[in-house]
Amino acid sequence: MQDMNQKNIIINFTPTGMIPTKEMTPHVPIQPEKIVEDVLRANEIGITMVHIHARDRKTGRPSFETDVYAQIIDGIRKGAPDLIICVSLSGRDFKEYEKRAEPLKLEGNLKPDMGSLTLSSLNFNKQASMNEPYIILALAENLRDSLIKPELEVFDSGMINYAHYLIGKGLITPPYYFNLILGNIACAQADPLHAGVMIRDMPDNSLWSIGGIGDFQLPMNAMSIALGGGVRVGLEDNIWFDRKRTRLATNSDLIRRIHKIAVANERNIMSSAELRKILNLESGHGKYGMKSEA
């Protein structure tokens, strides 16, 4: 892999996810306005991008509905018009392509800059995330045609190989952005050697961030910062502030801690504006998604 310049740290903020509930932690934002509040608070502290999941207002369960995503995106854009927004296209709760692709229909000021693309099926502790090849290909094609940048979600080295396959088919184009998510029970473990193989195998012109599931979030974030990468951080992956699980975290707690680690490593946080230029995204402030090559 030919390294791109990642002198500054990408903070990919994941405030909600699909799993945490109010019963698990009172700090997880679920209602659209609460998600917006958490994102804008995080933006004030300093983040680069946000990866959002929508939840049903009545049940709190994951939602694919465009009107819920629209409420969240609209609220964020009013307070942070240049923040990079990625919408989840996860197969964890929704198997059908039509449901998963719904957020990609949003346009204008509601258009997401990026959409998550998990590059294979995988098992979590109690649930599978189904990503059949035809759905990955269809989502990649939709992202390309909609000028929405894929956020490539990778849980093991085989998924890196699948990214090369998509490149060969012309479905994803450089520069690439990868989230390496380590520590899941059935995938690459939270280990420097696992991370190193994945980083080595990434295509040229790739940027990357590392996240860790549960107790592994902090050590994987710290390792990534030390290695020169970015971080994926937030209550989506980890609800505890400490590994002894004596204190529930807030999203702000987790982001402030990343800032402290960044200072210790003499690295600065990458701005949305800087990442927009690197990834060839529109400048924000009313223009979103990828720039057209035309």
* Residue boundaries of the structural domains of the chain: 11-278
Tokens read off for 292: 């057209």
Q: What is the pLDDT of residue 125?
A: 85
The neighbouring-strand residues paired with 180 are 154, 210
The answer to whether 25 and 58 have CB atoms below 8 angstroms apart is no
Spatial distance between the Cα atoms of 169 and 165, rounded to a whole number of angstroms = 7
Give, in degrees to the nearest 5, the angle at Cα 202 between 151 and 17. Answer: 30
Task: Work out whether the CA dihedral 222, 225, 229, 233 comes out positive or negative.
Answer: positive
One digit per residue, pLDDT tens: the chain, 294 residues? 655 668 999 999 999 999 999 999 999 999 999 999 999 999 999 999 999 999 998 999 999 999 999 999 999 999 999 999 999 998 788 889 999 999 999 999 999 999 999 999 988 888 888 899 999 999 999 999 999 999 999 999 999 999 999 999 999 999 999 999 999 999 999 999 999 999 999 999 999 999 999 999 999 999 999 999 999 999 999 999 999 999 999 999 999 999 999 999 999 999 999 999 999 999 999 999 999 874
Residue-level pLDDT at 6: 81
The candidate with the shortest Cα–Cα distance to 221, out of 208, 213, 211, is 211
Query: Is the CB of residue 173 less than 8 Å from the CB of residue 112?
Result: no
pTM of the model: 0.97
d(CA 99, CA 251): 28
Which tokens belong to 202?
A: 């990434």
Q: Which CATH number fits domain 11-278: 3.40.50.300, 2.40.30.30, 3.40.50.2300, 3.20.20.70?
A: 3.20.20.70
